[in-house]
């Protein structure tokens, strides 16, 4: 399976961890067990030393869905700063998919 390179992962790591931890809390309240497991897997991947820069398309798609949920929820409920960060990170991942299609 071809992997997609996420060159800016070190720059985005802190924001991703914060967003994912927030989403774990929300997913627990809503009892979305699969999403909790996906979030926990991403936290593990972000804590690896050295951090990976290449991920499967499935892993990045999962991250995009987590970021999408975060953006939708926060932008609707008034958490504009975190919602905006999540949306920008989501667009960055979408861009990675588009760049990968060209290769």
- Which pLDDT tens digit goes with each residue over 19-56? 999 999 999 999 999 999 999 999 999 999 999 999 99
CA angle 50-55-61, nearest 5°?
A: 135
Average pLDDT on 3-29 reads 96
* Confidence (pLDDT) at 40: 98
Segment 48-83, tens digit of pLDDT = 999 999 999 999 999 999 999 999 999 999 889 999
pLDDT for residue 93 is more than 80: yes
CA angle 99-100-102, nearest 5°?
A: 70
d(CA 17, CA 32): 19
Average pLDDT on 73-94 reads 95
pLDDT for residue 103 is more than 90: no
């Amino acid at each position: 399976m071809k992997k997609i390179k996420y060159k800016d992962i070190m720059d985005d790591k802190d924001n991703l961890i914060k967003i994912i931890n927030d989403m774990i809390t929300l997913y627990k309240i809503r009892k979305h067990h699969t999403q909790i497991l996906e979030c926990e897997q991403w936290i593990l991947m972000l804590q690896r030393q050295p951090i990976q820069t290449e991920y499967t398309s499935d892993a990045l798609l999962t991250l995009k869905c987590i970021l999408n949920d975060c953006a939708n929820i926060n932008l609707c409920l008034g958490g504009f700063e975190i919602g905006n960060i999540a949306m920008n990170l989501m667009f960055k991942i979408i861009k990675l998919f588009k760049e990968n299609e060209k290769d």
